[in-house]
Every structure is written in C-alpha cells, then in structure tokens.
A and B are shown apart, each in its own frame.
Chain A
Amino acid sequence: MTPNAFLQIGLYVGVLLVCIKPLGLYMAQVYSGQATFLGRFVGPVERLIYRLCGVDPDAEMSWLQYATAVLMLSLVSFVSVYGIQRLQGLLPLNPESLSAVSSDSSFNTAVSFTTNTNWQGYGGETTMSYLTQMLALNVQNFLSAAGGMAVLVALVRGFTRSNTESIGNFWVDLVRGTLYILLPLSLVLAIALVSQGVVQTFSSYEEVALVEATVNADGESVMTQKIAVGPAASQIAIKQLGTNGGGFFNVNSSHPFENPTPISNFLELLAILLIPASLCYTFGEMVGDRRQGWAILAAMSFIFLGILVLTWTSEQQGNPVLADLGVDQAASELQPGGNMEGKETRFGIVNSALWAVATTSASNGSVNSMHDSYTPLGGLGPMWLMQLGEVIFGGVGSGLYGMLVFAIVAVFISGLMVGRTPEYLGKKIGAFEMKMAALVILLPCAMVLLGTASAVVTDTGRASVFNPGPHGFSEVLYAFSSAGNNNGSAFAGLGANTPFYNGMLGLAMLVGRFWVMLPVLAIAGSLAVKKTVPAGAGTLPTHTPLFVVLLVAIVVVVGALSFFPALALGPIVEHLLSTAN
C-alpha cells in the first residue's frame, strides 16, 4: 500500500475515464450509421464487402432473423476453427511442425474462441501453428467481439425504437464494428506493443547459447535455450481490446514476449476495459440521455473498486507460510514484497492485482500473473467478479447487455415496492421481459454450480485437480465460473485438457454465451414493438445515485445468494486455514 501503488491505480483509472467520452461518442456514430473520420478509407472496403457477400446493408431484421444470423455465424466459425486445428499438420506456416490438435481439445477451443471466452486448455507455443493462431483464433478474436457489440446495439435499438419489428442488420453491425472500431484500435496497439518488445515475426523459434549449462530431469546437460517467437503482437492487441483474452503463449500476458515492460502492461491493461467502459457512454448517447450511461458506469466502477481493494490488500499482505520461514514480504522502494508466487518482478503486486480484477470484471480472461497462486481472499475477488455474471464492465457488448438486464430487474423490483408498472428508458417492462431476464441471470449460475458439482463428485473430475484441500475445490469452481460466464481465465493448476473438462467446459461456454444472448435479443424484439411512454410523476428515474445503489445491491445480492455456499467451501475455508496456521 505504498504511495506509488495509489498513483499507479489512480493513473490507470484517470486515463481510462479520459478515453471514455471520445471513444464512446465515436462508437455511437459507427453504430448509428453516421459518417466518421475513417469513412473515407474504410467506406469503400465496407461497401465492397457487402457486395461480395450478398448483404443488403439497408435491409432490417426482426429479432428472430438477427438471432439466426448470430447463430449462423457462430456455427460456421466453429466449423472453421475446429477444422483448421485438426488439419494444421498439413497446412503451411507451421515452422515447428506441430501436429493436429486432439478432437476434444479442438472442440473446446473452437467453442471457446467463437463464444468470446478464450478459455485455453492448451499451451499456445507448444500446440498451435502460426497459421492456426492467425486464421482460426485471431479471426474469432475479432468476430466474437464484434458479435457481442452488435447484440448490445440491437438491444439499445429495442429501447429507442417504437412500433417496429426491426432491430437492425446483424451483418452490418458486425462488419462496422470490426472495420471501424476493432481493426484500427488493434493496429495502433499492436505497433505500440512491438516497440516495447512484443515479438512479431513468421520465422521459426530462436535457439541461443546458455551462459550457464543446466541439466534436465534425465540428468542430461542442456547447453542451449529454445525461445518461442511468432506473430504475437497482432494477436495480443485484439485479445486485449476484444475482451477475448486468449494468449499467444501458454502463460498469456505474464510472458515477457507478450507483455515485456510496465508500459506494455499499462497499454494492455487499458485495452481490457477501454471498449466495455466506453460502451456505457455509447449507450447513453444512443438512448438520448447520457446520464443513463454514466449511471451504469458508476454502478460498475463501484463494484470494481471494492473488489480491487480486497484483492490488492490480500496479495500485498503476502503468504503467512513464507513469513514463518524468514522471508521478507514487506513492500519497499527496493522490492514489491507481498505474495510474489506466480507474479512477475516487473509488475509486482499492484499491477498484478489490478490486472486480475480488470480481466475478471471484464470478461477478458487474459492474465499477467497466475491466479491459482493468489492468496485465498485475493483469488476470491476475481472468482466472484465472474460469478456476478460478467456484468461489471463485462465482455465487449455482452457485459453491458448483461448489466441492462440487471437494470430491468432493478426497475421491476422497485416497481413492486411502490405498486406501479415498471418502466425503463420509456418502455414498460412486462412479464415477457422479466421471464427472459430471469433466464439470463439464472441459467449461467445453474451451469456453474451444476458443472462444479458434477466434476467434484466424479473420479475423472477430481483426477485433474492439482492443489490439495479447499484450494483444489476452488480450482474447479473457478474453471466453471470462468467458462459459464465466458471469461476464460483459470486457476491453471487444474489439468483441464482432458475429454471430461474439454466437453463440460465447452458446454458451459455455450450456455454462457447463447443462453444469455438469445433472451437478450428476444427482449430487444419485444421492446421495439412497444410504444414509448413519456416519463410521468411515478416513473423511477434511472440516472440518479439512488438507482445506482439499487442496481449495485441487486447485482451483489444475486451474486452473493447464488455463490456464497460454494465460495465458503473453497476460498473462505482456505483463508481460515491459512490464518489459523
């Protein structure tokens, strides 16, 4: 808790806040079909793509057509990602001659990347060829992100339009999100990352002479070090911006080639929350009342900062086990101190904790430290943020549409209290919307808990657990929380690259993505048909501090009620054990 730590957190939050308005405004222009400053260069490409693909950009879709389009794209994407992995041994751009990925792992990864989860059962540099990384995984980093943003925009149109069936054109929203938002930002970020030392090359892995020879497990002398490289920067930029999180290398952004300096760390960290936070402003702009966007942002920030304090202070306190051995864990100007197991020296405690909380509040899932090695309460923070349904910033698009569902629940509950029909943004909330909202909230919760239960009662499930005691249970709970809410980070000790986990977690990811997306689109369709009612004396204003508190309370209470018993068996017991020793 040094002054510098406060400064680093303050700087991060400050720069993020400064970016929200310009980017939010720009994204509102993009999705409203207005001209933007990039239009002169991107416009011709956009129109060419529509012509090539037989898309009529002026044709509007009903919510069912929109949902069908989303599902179709996800389906063909799944087939493509699965196929490329299975065939990579025969395909070019494979300098390390990596063979085909196993069928269950290919299934898991294909689901993972098309659902914007980027759970990784594999290690990048030992499994995936350059071609697979680029043509399969990187493409989905763009498309799954643009897809999530498109569905959010469709929901916003449901609020702003009245007496109509149509909620926009998915293909147009997808293409515009990719070309105008994700690609330009990624290009700039990728080049900035290379300048810091992130690799970007198609040549094969480097071999260097070791200064001091070492011996391997078989007692043989090893004189050289093989260093994995690859076209990493282009992939890292979008995996941070698109809340994907799938690392180029096994250890993600803790790898020195994926995140070499504090500057690269700052930029990647900024990229995690940049679009999800700015979309709040886009939302306010598109519904014609910016205060609505700020209110949602305030609710998200409140929970974010609360969990950040928990995780940061727990990590900085260090591990009592090591303190007993005569290890110095106090922070000073000469060392970061704290719980440094699974953390990098250049990031220390504050940047690791900040990243862990940002990546799990957004459904990013990239890591710059190993969450499995966190202190019990330090690891509880990220886990619970995922269990809240990835609505605290959340995935690009998906986080905000999830939060808007909670806002609908909040106006419904306050409507019950005062005995009035609830309304939000001028639309009356009826039984249909509430049923859909309940589905959105309950099904991923159920998937997480049932998945965890099925794993811990079976031998196959338990065999993959790495850490003994309650921490082992936490590993499984974390895995299903991550998959069921499309985050993608892991307590990576869990050996999840088995047919059981590849299958079960794949299922959880599908539920987490589509069982949220489809009801949201149904809400969008149902709202678009309704007429807009002007706010009356009895309308609950949804831009006030009172509403922010209400919204925070609903999110926290639902999350706590659903998961407290499970958390008690994992991190909470572990914390008690750790302090009792």
Chain B
Amino acid sequence: MLQQLRPAVMLLIVLTLVTGGIYPAVVTAIAQVAFPHQANGSLIKDDNQSVGSELIGQHFSQPEYFWGRLSATQPVPYNAAASSGSNFGPLHPDLKDAAEARIEDLRTEGSEDRDVPVDLVTSSASGLDPHISPAAAEFQVPRIAKGRRISEETVRQLVHQHTQGRQFGVLGEPRVNVLQLNLALDQQTSK
C-alpha cells in the first residue's frame, strides 16, 4: 500500500506542474501573441473605451433598438459575470408567462400581427446569446424604422450587413449580432 503512496504523491505534484502550470501558461502565451483580440474577450472599442464584446449580448428594451433573446441571468438580464439559463421545463407556467409578456411587448411596440419567431420569446442557454435569427430581426424591422424615422429598406440593408450565414455554408445557423447591429443603427442615425 504505502509503497504506492510515494509515486502517487510525486506524480500528482509533477503532473500538476505540467498540466496545471506549464500547459495553460504555454496556451496563454501562444494565444496572446497569435490571437490577442480573441483571447481577451473580442472587445469592441470605441475611442479606446470598451462598449461591449462581439460575443456577449446586451439587454435592449427600447423600441428603436433590436431586441435579443430573453435572458434569465440574475440580478439583471445579460449579466456576463454570472451566466445562467432559465431551466424552465416545457410545461413550467413561467415559461408560458414569459413568452406571453414578450409577445405583448412586441405587439404594443407596433410589431406586425403575425406569428412571432420562437427565438424572440425564449431564453437562451447562456443568458448571454449575442444573436437572433434573421427571422427575428426581420420581424422587428418595421418597429425600428418607425422609431427612428428611416425607411424599412435602410434598416433591412443594415440587418443584411450584420447577418452571418452558416460557416462554410454548412455549420451552425444563420444569425444576426444584435449589439453590433444596434451600434451600427446608432452610427447611421447620428450621421
């Protein structure tokens, strides 16, 4: 028994050094040299100030901004220091209530009276989803155009510019980055 203790302790120490010390340090060094933007959080800089991350969504509720997925993080939506999903099962009453409230908000803000794309009424897994589907963006175009007094065509063009297709035409789903689209809207209108 005890004859196995020494190699167990020694190997744990040595392999801790290798896999817990050297390995992450080497990855960090390579990452910081080769991909500094990505390794540090893909931050969006505006005059040297960070206004967000390309990968982390923000909460939008004003009618002149595109809205993202519902977020279940606490104590504020899109809390990027404590990611969380809703964990509502399909029959949880709060799931239905949240969807109904969202549909009501969309309708009172003047969105069309047609079926709402599912990603607009459901919480994302992370609570930080930066994207919505192109269908969810299109659904909101009339509201944005009215709120900002610009043509729907202009808004649609911006949406189109910020729509990413499937990677290599195959992988993942088509999607629109909400924060980047809204930043572009602000820029367009301030011109």
Binding site for B on A (CB under 8 A): 4, 7-8, 11, 49, 52-55, 65, 68-69, 72-73, 75-77, 80, 123, 125-126, 134-136, 138-139, 141-143, 171, 174-175, 178-179, 183, 186-187, 190-191, 194-203, 205-212, 214-218, 222, 225-229, 231, 233-235, 237-238, 249-251, 254-257, 260-263, 265-266, 318-319, 321-322, 325-329, 332-348, 351-352, 367-370, 372-376, 466-469, 471, 474, 491-493, 574, 577-578, 581
Further contacts, 9 of them, CB under 8 A, given A125-B81, A574-B91: A141-B19, A175-B15, A197-B42, A199-B41, A225-B56, A226-B81, A321-B91, A373-B87, A468-B93
* B179 & A467 in contact (Cβ 8 Å cutoff): no
* A334 & B39 in contact (Cβ 8 Å cutoff): no
16 interchain pairs, CB-CB under 8 A = A54-B10, A72-B1, A178-B18, A202-B28, A206-B40, A211-B60, A211-B179, A217-B75, A218-B75, A227-B41, A229-B41, A234-B24, A249-B83, A263-B171, A265-B172, A467-B92
* A212 & B123 in contact (Cβ 8 Å cutoff): no
In the docked arrangement, what's the CA distance between A304 and B93, Å? 33
In the docked arrangement, what's the CA distance between A206 and B43, Å? 9
In the docked arrangement, what's the CA distance between A335 and B179, Å? 19
**Nearest-CB distance from A221 to chain B (Å)?**
10
Main SS of the interface on chain A? Answer: mixed
In the docked arrangement, what's the CA distance between A325 and B99, Å? 8
For chain B, the bracket of interface size reads 35 or more
* A467 & B131 in contact (Cβ 8 Å cutoff): no
* B51 & A209 in contact (Cβ 8 Å cutoff): yes
Our pick among A228, A231, A249, A344 for the contact of B124 (Cβ within 8 Å) is A344
* A214 & B31 in contact (Cβ 8 Å cutoff): no
Binding site for A on B (CB under 8 A): 1, 4-12, 14-16, 18-21, 23-24, 26-28, 30-32, 34-35, 38-43, 49-62, 65, 69, 74-93, 95-96, 99-100, 103, 115-119, 121-136, 138, 166-167, 170-175, 179, 182-183, 186
* B23 & A256 in contact (Cβ 8 Å cutoff): no
Residues of B within 8 A of A257 (CB): 41, 55-56
Our pick among B11, B38, B128, B183 for the contact of A255 (Cβ within 8 Å) is B128
* B24 & A334 in contact (Cβ 8 Å cutoff): no
Residues of B within 8 A of A262 (CB): 166-167, 171-173
Residues of B within 8 A of A73 (CB): 8, 11-12
* B90 & A205 in contact (Cβ 8 Å cutoff): no
B60, B127, B136, B173, most chain A CB atoms within 10 A? B173
Residues of A within 8 A of B186 (CB): 211
Q: A76-B8, A217-B75, A368-B125 are in contact. Are A321 and B24 (CB under 8 A)?
A: no
* A76 & B12 in contact (Cβ 8 Å cutoff): yes
Residues of B within 8 A of A339 (CB): 90, 118
* A471 & B14 in contact (Cβ 8 Å cutoff): no
Q: A8-B171, A208-B51 are in contact. Are A198 and B84 (CB under 8 A)?
A: no
**Nearest-CB distance from B166 to chain A (Å)?**
7
Q: A200-B39, A209-B50 are in contact. Are A72 and B5 (CB under 8 A)?
A: yes
**Nearest-CB distance from B15 to chain A (Å)?**
6
A227, A335, A471, A493, most chain B CB atoms within 10 A? A335
* B89 & A471 in contact (Cβ 8 Å cutoff): yes
In the docked arrangement, what's the CA distance between A203 and B119, Å? 34
Q: What 5 A-B pairs are tightest by C-beta distance, nearest first? A: A262-B172, A493-B87, A254-B125, A471-B89, A53-B10
Residues of B within 8 A of A347 (CB): 172-173
Q: A341-B123, A345-B69 are in contact. Are A139 and B15 (CB under 8 A)?
A: yes
A337, A348, A373, most chain B CB atoms within 10 A? A373
